Structure 1
Amino acid sequence: MSERVVKPVGRGFLFLDSHPDGCARLVRELAGQVERRTPERRVALVIGSSSGYGLAATIAGLARYGIDGVGVSFEKAPTARRTATAGWYRTAETAALAEELGCEFHFVNADAFADTTKDEVLKLIAGRFGGVDHLIYSVAAPRRVDPRTEETYQSAIKAIGAPHTTKSLAFDGADPVLQEVGIEVATDDEIAQTVKVMGGEDWSRWVEALTERGLTKPGFSTVALTYIGSELTGPIYRQGSIGAAKADLEQTALTLSKDGIQAMTSVNGAAVTQASSAIPGIGLYVSLLHKVLGDGLRTPIQQSIALWDQLTGDTPLDLDEEGRIRLDRWELTDDVQAAVRAQWEAATQDNIAEVADAAWFFSEVRRLYGFDVPGVDYDAETEVDVAWP
């Protein structure tokens, strides 16, 4: 037993500890937003199942369609000094949820890029399920070690072609700070390394490993989650080094779509995630988007419900001309983008707290670590030594 009071200690958008009770309650909160369906049971493999859209896709699949399968993520256990990562606690609660729903869903804590992880996961799938119906790939990592070359690749958040300056949101304590952030130009090597980390190579290797072992069931489909976003964030995201990786991901989908495999990318809308909060300008943009849309901003769990409805055939696939599933149409309408742009251009340090939903954004970041979750007593001791399921 290792109980203690856990407080949100950190700097900016990064916190050193996570709250186990808050993370667990957040999982239940998300599951409570999902209406149950009872179709034919599916088996799914979710790569990146502990956070962001991968977590939402896992919970939505479990709570809506009762999926069986395996989730893969890479989280840190609690230590004598620090709590476990938030994804560790979320996974423990997701496993409890799956059991209550009568689902057989296993969770593997390992580096998704490693061939040893693929071997472990595929042996588990072969032994327990005989194959999978769906593979959802949702990996956001700063670096990748290629197990076949042992070379380490590092992703870069940089512009392509010309340097760029963007408005960006930061926090001094709980007070929002509007900054001007300069974005350097990526070298060809930095672009190539970013593609190696965030592009489609590892997704392709997962699909190839499944097909080589005969573990894709008839009608198998696979989706990698991606983002396009606004012209306001384009220079740092879609037209930047990250965008080059996303373009590679989309090209990979076209390459994988053969021999009975349906491979697609799913373009999700903007959201507050641990990965997106680290990108300059994204925090401000999402804060403004929420100010404009309020409850009209579709959350990751709402979008994941729509994704599962389409993957199962409950609703038709909403594809664009390039064959991508579009879950972001609500974000990119002309009227929404015009309103967000007007707020963006009007934002100053003096009015940032009113022009943007900065307080909401900061609270959402804290919720990623299990804080600011209603119903949790943050002054009480809590058990931090939670076992991996």
Structure 2
Amino acid sequence: MKAGMKRMKLRALSVSHVNSYIKKLTSNDPILCNIRVKGEISNFKAHASGNIYFSLKDEDSKLRCVLFRDYACETAKKLEDGMSIIVGGSISLYEKDGLLQMYARTVEVEGVGELYAKFLRLKDTLEKEGIFDASRKKAIPEYPSRIGVITSESGAAVRDIINVIARRFPKVDIALYPVAVQGEGSAGQMIKGLEILNQLGGIDVIILGRGGGSIEELWSFNDEALARAIAGSNVPVISAVGHETDFTISDFAADMRAPTPSAAAEISVPSLLEINYRLEGIKNKIYGEMKSLMDSKKAELARIEESSIFRRPHSLLDERMIALDAAFTCINSNVQRKVAGMSDNIELTGRNLFNLNPLSILSRGYAIVQKDNLLAGSVSCLSEGEAVSVRFSDGTAQCTVDKITRD
């Protein structure tokens, strides 16, 4: 280039032109137009439209993928994070965002990915130990006064938790223990947080969680030591990791699993509005029952006031006096009749006793013969020459038996 010659400036292209150019290159590439890629699923999401979005990854890289509804077979609908698959389709640029992604047309399930297989092995081990047993779960208190939160202090999760609790039950205190929620050492920080909040005292429930992410980003919550720390916590723990479709070992070890951090906040505290509404309902119920009781008593009092007894109370006393006189007369008559009957019985008994008295019989000319102070009721009891006593009504004669004549 000669000295002094001006350098030609390249024409500046718009972002749209650049993206369009790259899209044409990728769309016309014979390899990228029809390619099969093998990898492990992460960031899986099935959209309400029927389209499926996910990433394929290996140890070093990730590739965004989309499977449109028209190609979503039954196999594709059963995909989940951690599965190893082979995707067939094309790779091109999504012009709007300038992102390279794969447009999948076929999906073949190859097996379970390494991370997911590790997840299943740990889950099986802890489940057999009884770490996940329902009998170990602690109840979440209905009205907590202080809630411990273990999460990142800069993430959306902590803001969601604080906002929901402040809206629903502002009287509760929040003790935040900030931790890293992904990466090396994050599980150890969360374990330390559980220890500190358990030792602190006065904590009624602990929320442990973070926002959504890939299986790699959520992997700290699949740590075995963390799961055991959660299960061993004296304070009930609510696990709130990721989105509703995300499941981690921490979810199974916790006393309760919430689909999101916001949901965990809702579970941990009652709604003050709902409490006030229930109290208002109870107040209205009590008021209604008291009013009904008062109305009933007023009506009863009105009936009493209108009764003849209330208007003429002496008439009731007169009636009672008449009834009392009648009862006295009846009792007196019964007593006299009973006494007369008993007198007749006594007189009859006296006559019978008098008639049965041996002395009474003697007054009618009979006598009693005794030998040796014993009654001689027959001549066979006597012998000639024996001395006997003969008892008359007016005295006793001592006699000797001269002769015995038998009839």
Same fold (TM over 0.5): no
Richer in strand (by share)? 2
User: Which structure is larger by alpha-carbon Rg, 1 or 2?
Assistant: 2
Return the structure number with greater relative CO, CA threshold 8 A, min gap 6: 1
TM interval, shorter chain, is under 0.3
